Amino acid sequence: MVKTVAGQRPTATQGFDFEVRNGATPSSVGTTIGSGRATAANGGLVTIGTAASPATPLLVAPGTYQFCEFILPGWGNPLGTRSFVPGLALDSTADNAFLCLNVTVAAGANQTFTLDNRPPPGGQAKTIGFWKNWASCSGSKGKQKPVLDQTLAKISGGIPVGNLKVSSCPVAVDLLNKSTVADAAKVGDGKKMASDPAFNFAAQYLAFRLNIAAEANSACAPANNASTTGQAILVAIAFDGQKHAKISKGDVERLNAAAGIVDQYNNNTLTC
């Protein structure tokens, strides 16, 4: 693996994680069989190791595998238009941290990847699943980086979602889970509201605003218009993360439409 950042080797503050998977498709996450990390210490030159022992070079039988890279929000996609998010076809809110590319390896061949990452601004957006998974207060077990917390810290006064200002990890994760915010210091103690158009839009809108704060593509007119429309409705119905006023039939339709558009943006499938 040869990794560069805007044509240069990674700096001391940069690290890029890679996986080799077997059986990954848009409908399946597959199985991770190898991993590696490009850093300043190795000059961006790294041999992919086995999943059990990263220091042991990965050897595979001839066949097709998936080479995957973890990409932070706001960063460009170095794998190109043929890449895919494993498992996302089954759930548009799934974690899209990794992008994968099918690679066929012949007998006796060494596979080398040369990838150049483009730093923010203007890069990839991330889904609801990413933001609630890569957070200090999430229930995930993978020792994920607190990307949600770090992004919220950039926003003075928090993110307004209706009349609620979101500035802490527990409140953000509850909304991303489409749940009411009960105790603002706890995660998961509220009521699931996934069938409520206001909470459904609020989750997608919060992910959108986090993506913008992380310097993902901010020049997407359809997403910007949909987010503005939906947020105005949340304010009008006094949405506060726990309750809201009755929603008219017309506003239900507008909220659902806006949520769908913003969901596409968060999945990087919206035509801007």
Residues 76-134 pLDDT 10s: 999 999 999 999 998 988 999 999 999 999 999 888 989 999 999 999 999 999 999 99
Q: Are residues 101 and 137 in the same domain?
A: no
pLDDT at 143: 65
Q: How many angstroms separate the CA atoms of 213 and 155, rounded?
A: 7
Q: Are residues 194 and 78 in the same domain?
A: no
Domain count, the chain: 2
Per-residue pLDDT reduced to its tens digit, 213-246: 999 999 999 999 999 999 999 999 999 999 999 9
Q: Are residues 40 and 145 in the same domain?
A: no
The proportion of the chain whose per-residue pLDDT surpasses 70, expressed as a percent, equals: 99
Write down how long the chain is. 272
With respect to residue 134, please indicate whether it lies within any of the assigned structural domains.
yes
Q: Are residues 139 and 108 in the same domain?
A: no
The set of residues, in sequence order, having a beta carbon less than 8 Å from that of 238 and lying 6+ positions away, is 162, 163, 244, 245
Contact 180, 242 (CB under 8 A): yes
With respect to residue 77, please indicate whether it lies within any of the assigned structural domains.
yes
- Phi/psi at 2 (nearest 5 deg)? -115, 110
User: Is pLDDT of 3 > 90?
Assistant: yes
- Where is the domain boundary, 48, 82, 117? 117
Closest CA to 86 of 47, 30, 153: 30
Bond prior to 121 in cis (omega within 30° of 0): yes
With respect to residue 123, please indicate whether it lies within any of the assigned structural domains.
no
Reported confidence tier of residue 41, pLDDT bands at 50, 70, 90: very high
Q: Are residues 181 and 77 in the same domain?
A: no
Helix (H, G, I), strand (E, B) or coil at 216: strand
pTM here is: 0.93
With respect to residue 271, please indicate whether it lies within any of the assigned structural domains.
no
Question: 124 burial class (0-12, 13-18, 19+ CB within 10 angstroms)?
Answer: buried
- Where is the domain boundary, 117, 145, 166? 117
Helix (H, G, I), strand (E, B) or coil at 235: helix
Q: Are residues 85 and 155 in the same domain?
A: no
Domain that holds residue 28: 2-117
Q: Are residues 218 and 135 in the same domain?
A: yes
Reported confidence tier of residue 142, pLDDT bands at 50, 70, 90: low
- Where is the domain boundary, 65, 84, 117? 117
Contact 155, 43 (CB under 8 A): no
Q: Are residues 235 and 254 in the same domain?
A: yes
